[in-house]
Amino acid sequence: MNAYYRSAEKLGVQIRYNTPVQALELRNGEFVAALAGNERIEARACVLAAGGFESNREWLREAWGENARGEWPADNFLIRGTRFNQGVLLKFMIEAGADVIGDPSQSHCVAIDARAPLYDGGICTRVDCVSLGVVVNRDAERFYDEGEDFWPKRYAIWGRLVAHQPGQIGYSIIDSKAIGHFMPPVFPGAQANTLGELACQLGLDPERFTHTVERYNQACQPGQFDHTTLDNCATQGLTPPKTHWARPVDMPPLLRLRPAPRDHLYLSGAESE
Ligand SMILES: Cc1cc2nc3c(=O)[nH]c(=O)nc-3n(C[C@H](O)[C@H](O)[C@H](O)COP(=O)(O)OP(=O)(O)OC[C@H]3O[C@@H](n4cnc5c(N)ncnc54)[C@H](O)[C@@H]3O)c2cc1C
């Protein structure tokens, strides 16, 4: 970013810091000026690069609505990026008649640690051990194939998956075999020597949790574990299945992490990480 700023300044671009644009002046659908505080900045053209509306809770609520459990999932989202993307100029342009594309509830939505701050948690809040263990919801049930594909191809769907779970919370459960295979998160996970003990720490029903993990463990077929390939370690006879990297979660200490659906949202776009 500093290199961008330096290059822009060399080209004569003036930069106003801490200067939100609240509206634009348009004439016959054409840009005339940007209005920022008391300033009116005229130009021949304007490029709007003011982000999405991921920090605007009301707009997120409107886009996500109420679910069948009477919850408003967006109330539990954390924004790992800037708090300033309120969508002020997006809304302005939509009201001025700009075309809207895409579905506003769709997003790049990452599972991050639920203990992360509301804004600006950054990359280190992402929970990256999902493909190495199992993920259960508040009812201690698994809900998706944790080993569907390589993690870099799947991490951006897990926020949305967790958003559809009760309370918008999930628990990523791994054992000591997983350590060293993923980017450790900034918050340490809870540890326990038995499944029941871990469930108690997480506030999950110990019987149901133990049953879910033991059923998963029993369904794991012998294979050659290799986290760098789509290996042949899979479950059999389990719904949902785990199709790669399925190894029993049985080697203490067991660990848990809490992903939550949180991230920037935009009307359309694609990215790779
Ligand atoms: C933690 C994290 C990690 C990410 N990692 C990757 C990655 O590895 N690869 C990848 O491709 N993408 C990644 N992304 C996504 C990527 O950063 C965004 O998609 C991208 O920055 C969006 O660019 P943008 O220019 O549209 O908006 P932004 O970069 O969000 O910029 C919008 C700017 O506009 C300002 N602004 C907002 N409203 C106003 C207003 N009214 N007036 C004036 N200024 C305003 C904001 O302060 C902000 O500076 C990541 C995002 C986060 C949060």
Dist CA 53 CA 210 (whole Å): 40
Ligand 1 within 6 A of CB of 85:
yes
Residue 108 neighbours by CB under 8 Å, 6+ apart: 156, 263, 264, 265, 266, 269, 271
- Span 5-18, average pLDDT: 94
pLDDT bracket for residue 271 (50, 70, 90): very low
Note the pLDDT tens digit of each residue in 212-263: 999 999 999 999 999 999 999 999 999 999 999 999 999 988 877 666 554 4
Chain CA centroid to CA 262, Å: 4
Ligand 1 centre to CA of 182 (Å) is 25
Q: Which of 23-27, 76-80, 135-139, 257-261 has the lowest mean pLDDT?
A: 257-261
| Closest-CA residue to 16 (of 32, 39, 33) | 39
- Span 153-172, average pLDDT: 91
pLDDT bracket for residue 94 (50, 70, 90): very high
Taking CA atoms only, the protein residue closest to ligand 1 atom 48 is 50
What's the pLDDT score for residue 7? 97
CA distances, 233 to each of 38, 210, 223 (Å): 63, 21, 5
What's the pLDDT score for residue 266? 29
Note the pLDDT tens digit of each residue in 133-147: 999 999 999 999 999
Ligand 1 within 6 A of CB of 23:
no
Dist CA 91 CA 53 (whole Å): 9
Mutate to test the pocket of ligand 1, among 59, 84, 118, 263 (most ligand atoms within 8 A of CB): 84
Burial track 46-79 (b if 16+ CB lie within 10 A, e otherwise) = beeebbbbbbbbebbeebbeeeeeeeebbebbbb
Dist CA 258 CA 3 (whole Å): 36
Q: Answer whether 247's CB lies under 8 Å from 220's CB.
A: yes
What's the pLDDT score for residue 263? 41
What's the pLDDT score for residue 115? 86
Residue 66 has pLDDT above 50, yes or no: yes
Ligand 1 centre to CA of 98 (Å) is 21
Q: What is the dihedral of CA 199, 205, 208, 212, to 10 degrees?
A: -40
Taking CA atoms only, the protein residue closest to ligand 1 atom 15 is 271
Q: What is the mean pLDDT of the chain?
A: 90
What's the pLDDT score for residue 107? 84
Instruction: Look at strands 254-257 and 170-174 and give their pairing.
Output: antiparallel
Structure tokens belonging to residue 272: 């790779």
Taking CA atoms only, the protein residue closest to ligand 1 atom 19 is 271
Note the pLDDT tens digit of each residue in 176-198: 999 899 988 788 888 899 999 99
Residue 270 has pLDDT above 70, yes or no: no
Ligand 1 within 6 A of CB of 264:
yes
Dist CA 271 CA 273 (whole Å): 7
Ligand 1 centre to CA of 51 (Å) is 6
Edge-to-edge strand list for the sheet holding 134-137: 134-137, 170-174, 254-257, 190-192
Tally of residues, the chain:
273
Ligand 1 centre to CA of 107 (Å) is 13
Ligand 1 within 6 A of CB of 84:
yes
What's the pLDDT score for residue 260? 58
